[in-house]
Amino acid sequence: MFTGIVETTGRVADVTRDDEGRRLRIETDGIDGFSHGQSVAVDGVCLTVEAHGETDEGAWFDAFLAAETVSRTSLAEREVGDGVDLERALPADGRFDGHVVQGHVDTTTAVREIERVGEDYRYTFALPEGYERYVAEKGSIALDGVSLTVASVDDDAGTFDVAVIPTTRAETTLDERDPGDAVNVELDVVAKYVERLETY
């Protein structure tokens, strides 16, 4: 389980592809090291560390993306040099900030607009097709693994907004996103379970 409080960012150092999916090598100077089998959220996608090591600048790890992950997430588009958000799984005795994030991305959506509002930023995203009912004003949402609060929903325009403070923008890859870019979306798992229970 994750919290959506991004620990640090990393860079894609290598990409390999085969018939089964693709493999990413991620480098970062924000985490001391990794361990085999460890879960790491990369842009909100829970991946398993297959191999890892150290560099003069920090640490690296390799993770495999199965075909399902490639088809459902924006990691299919990540190339060498691209920035990614990183969060290790929450330890049992860890402090819980953010909200419950599983690392199970539902879909992707596109950035529509970015506006500076005083010292903060307002990001407008397209409502993810087929998942609109899960996006609620003042509800929680994870975008590229970042725990955010939905500021408003415009059903007529098919968009929703989130407010991003300067610290969040500086410490995540949100500052690298432009209108038209795809981001990973994980919807509030509580809303999905409530809906499921109501069908029985």
Q: What is the pLDDT of residue 177?
A: 96
Catalytic site includes residue 2: yes
**20 confidence band (pLDDT: 50, 70, 90):** confident
- Our CA angle for 65, 69, 71, nearest 5°, is 120
Neighbours of 148 (CB within 10 A): 22
CB 124 within 8 A of CB 113: yes
Q: Which of 16, 55, 71, 149 is catalytic?
A: 149
Q: 8-88 and 107-198: same fold?
A: yes
**38 confidence band (pLDDT: 50, 70, 90):** very high
Catalytic site includes residue 104: yes
| Cα–Cα separations (whole angstroms), residue 96 to 3, 4, 19, 75 | 7, 10, 39, 26
How far is residue 109's CA from residue 126's CA, in Å, rounded to a whole number? 6
Catalytic site includes residue 48: yes
Catalytic site includes residue 55: no
Q: Which CATH number fits domain 8-88: 2.40.30.20, 3.40.50.300, 1.10.1780.10, 3.40.718.10?
A: 2.40.30.20
**CATH class label, 107-198:** mainly beta
Neighbours of 7 (CB within 10 A): 18
Give the predicted TM-score (pTM) of the model.
Answer: 0.93
Catalytic site includes residue 66: yes
Q: What is the pLDDT of residue 100?
A: 86
- Work out the average pLDDT over 40-61: 95
Q: Which of 16, 67, 71, 104 is catalytic?
A: 104
Domain ranges across the chain: 8-88, 107-198
Q: What is the pLDDT of residue 19?
A: 77
Query: Is the pLDDT score of 197 beyond 80?
Result: no
**26 confidence band (pLDDT: 50, 70, 90):** very high
